[in-house]
Amino acid sequence: MKKDQRPSYDHVPMVVIKRLPKYYRYLGELVEKKLERISSQKLAQMMDISASQLRQDLNHFGEFGQQGYGYRVEDLYQEIGKIIGLEYQYNMVIVGAGNLGRALANYSNFCLRGFCLWALFDIDPELVGLNVNGIGIKDISELHDFVADNNISIGIITVPKEAAQGVADRLVAAGVKGIWNFAPVDIKVPDSIILENEHLADSLMVLSFRLRGKMG
Q: What residues make contact with its own copies under the rule CB under 8 A?
A: 3, 6, 8-9, 15, 17-18, 20-22, 24-26, 47, 83-86, 88, 90, 98-100, 102-104, 106-107, 109-110, 113-115, 153-154, 177-178, 180, 184, 186, 194, 196, 198-216
Shortest distance (Å) from residue 99 CB to its own copies = 4
- Pick the closer one to its own copies by CB: 32 or 63: 32
Residue 51, class by beta-carbon neighbours within 10 Å (0-12 exposed, 13-18 middle, 19+ buried)?
A: middle
Shortest distance (Å) from residue 100 CB to its own copies = 4
Shortest distance (Å) from residue 71 CB to its own copies = 19
84, 75, 65, 74: which is closest to 20 by C-alpha?
84
Contact, 154 vs 115, CB < 8 A?
yes
Distances (CA, A) of 166 to 10, 159, 169, 186: 31, 10, 5, 12
Ramachandran area for residue 85 (φ above 0: left; ψ -120 to 50: alpha; else beta): left
- Pick the closer one to its own copies by CB: 13 or 68: 13
Shortest distance (Å) from residue 66 CB to its own copies = 26
